[in-house]
Amino acid sequence: MSETDAKLNAVIGMAMSVLPEEIGCDDCFDYFAAYADHLTNGTPVPEPLRMVGSHLERCAFCMEELELLLEAMKAR
Amino acid sequence: MPPTTRGEPESRSDQDWINDLSASGPLREQALTELRAVLVAGLARSLRRFPNDSPLIQDSAQDALVLIVSRIQTYRGDSRFVTWALSIVIRVALSEMRRARWKDVSLDEMSEAGRIPPPVSEASPVNVSYERSQLMEVVRNAIENDLTPKQRDAIQAELGGTPPDEIAKRLGTNRNALYKLVYDGRVRLRQAILRAGWSEDHIRGVLNGK
Ligand SMILES: [Zn+2]
């Protein structure tokens, strides 16, 4: 895929994935630790934290933070 | 009389962390030392290319420690205390790495990196679908005409791979306000694309090359 095609796909993805209720990066961060604990423990993610999951699908930067956090948690 | 030291760090409960970090004297000193070690170990594991004693790891752990102690009242107890503390040190370290990587890049350059260029020539190459180039024109038009200059810069900078903290800094705002700015821009783009007669199914078909 050319760089232009990749940008076109990305911007259309950004536009068409708009949901009526979304959270931003800072709100996502507020629930980050709880979300990571649920992932690590394999416990079901409760309803209010589902918004974190859908934010992560759209936000590569928060996703990168989550991946690093999950790795850091293994150090214990 | 309360204990003046604790046993293994592993046995420390979330409440012990809060109590000890909020206390004074040796308990607090021990808790700070142990928490710092936890932050350094976690960070070194997630950022493998940096050794434990690198300035990035050491400085991030120190900065995060200060933040954690000052924000301890905001810990809600819906996660392990250590997970919460690690989430803060990760964000501190990543912010620093992103700041260093992007410090000399202007908003114009960030925005330019994500601009979708116009077609090279009017003559459509045989291997580019006609519909795809039509869709691209709709999107390019929408970016030019339906967004405010700030929305356009923010969305293009994001498309060009700039992290949100850095875009927010250039726009003189914070990450949440930036998210709202981009969200409103996404809504406008969506409306413009639908208004031009493209359905979601049709778009999916074109993007998947069908
Ligand atoms: Zn985010």
* CATH number where B182 lies: 1.10.10
Type and span of the H or E element at A10: helix A3-16
Residue B132: how many other CB atoms lie within 10 Å: 15
Residue B10: band (very low, low, confident or very high) from pLDDT cuts 50, 70, 90: low
Write out pLDDT tens, residues B84-104.
999 999 999 999 999 999 999
Q: How far is the CA of A33 from the centre of ligand 1 (A)?
A: 14
- The answer to whether residues B22 and B95 belong to one domain is yes
- The answer to whether residues B126 and B198 belong to one domain is yes
Write out pLDDT tens, residues A6-61.
899 999 999 998 988 888 888 899 999 999 999 999 999 998 898 999 899 888 88
Quote the domain boundaries for residue B17: 1-117
The span from the CA of B63 to the CA of B45, in Å, is 18
- The answer to whether residues B147 and B61 belong to one domain is no
pLDDT for the residue numbered A41: 95
Q: Which residue has 């808790």 as its token pair?
A: B31
- The answer to whether residues B137 and B63 belong to one domain is no
- The answer to whether residues B31 and B83 belong to one domain is yes
> What's the first-to-final CA gap in chain B, in angstroms?
75
Indicate the residue type of B5.
T
Tokens at residue A26, please? Answer: 């800072």
ipTM: 0.91
Q: Which residue has the higher pLDDT, B129 or B64?
A: B64
Indicate the residue type of B1.
M
Q: CATH number of the domain that B58 lies in?
A: 1.10.1740.10
Out of B117, B135, B154, pick the residue that ends a domain: B117
- The answer to whether residues B20 and B95 belong to one domain is yes
A1 in contact with B, Cβ within 8 Å = no
- The answer to whether residues B2 and B42 belong to one domain is yes
The 10 Å CB-count burial string (b at 16+, else e) for B110-129 is: bbebbbbeeeeeeeeeeeee
- The answer to whether residues B95 and B186 belong to one domain is no
A53 in contact with B, Cβ within 8 Å = no
Q: How far is CA B127 from the centre of its chain?
A: 37
- The answer to whether residues B204 and B165 belong to one domain is yes
For residues B1, B2, B3 and B4, what is the CA-based torsion angle, rounded to 10 degrees? -100
Tokens at residue B203, please? Answer: 């778009």
The span from the CA of A11 to the CA of A5, in Å, is 10
pLDDT for the residue numbered B67: 97
Residue B118: band (very low, low, confident or very high) from pLDDT cuts 50, 70, 90: confident
| Whether A12 and B207 lie within 8 Å, measured CB to CB | yes
Specify the number of domains making up chain B: 2
Which residues lie near ion ligand 1 (Cβ < 5 Å)?
A 25, 59, 62
pLDDT for the residue numbered B208: 82
pLDDT for the residue numbered B112: 95
pLDDT for the residue numbered B128: 59
- The answer to whether residues B84 and B132 belong to one domain is no
8 Å CB contact between B92 and B64: yes
- On chain A, the residues whose CB falls within 8 A of the CB of B90 are 65, 68-69, 72
Any idea where the domains of chain A sit in the sequence? 3-75
Question: Could you tell me which of B78, B162, B31 has the C-alpha nearest to residue B39?
Answer: B31
Q: What is the mean pLDDT of chain B?
A: 90
Which are the contacts of B144, defined by CB distance < 8 A and separation ≥ 6?
A: B152
**pTM value surpassing 0.90:** no
Q: Is B199 exposed, middle or buried (0-12, 13-18, 19+ CB in 10 A)?
A: exposed
Out of B60, B88, B117, pick the residue that ends a domain: B117
- The answer to whether residues B11 and B105 belong to one domain is yes
What Cα–Cα distance (Å) separates residue B105 from each residue in A55, B113, B162, B163? Answer: 27, 11, 10, 12
Residue A19: how many other CB atoms lie within 10 Å: 11
Question: Could you tell me which of A30, A66, A25, A53 has the C-alpha nearest to residue B164?
Answer: A25
pLDDT for the residue numbered B125: 53
What is the rounded average pLDDT of the residues B37-59?
A: 95
Indicate the residue type of B192.
A
> How far does A53 lie from chain B, in Å, by closest CA?
16
Out of B117, B147, B172, pick the residue that ends a domain: B117
Q: In which region does residue B15 sit, left (phi positive, over 0), alpha (psi from -120 to 50) or beta (all else)?
A: alpha
- The answer to whether residues B21 and B84 belong to one domain is yes
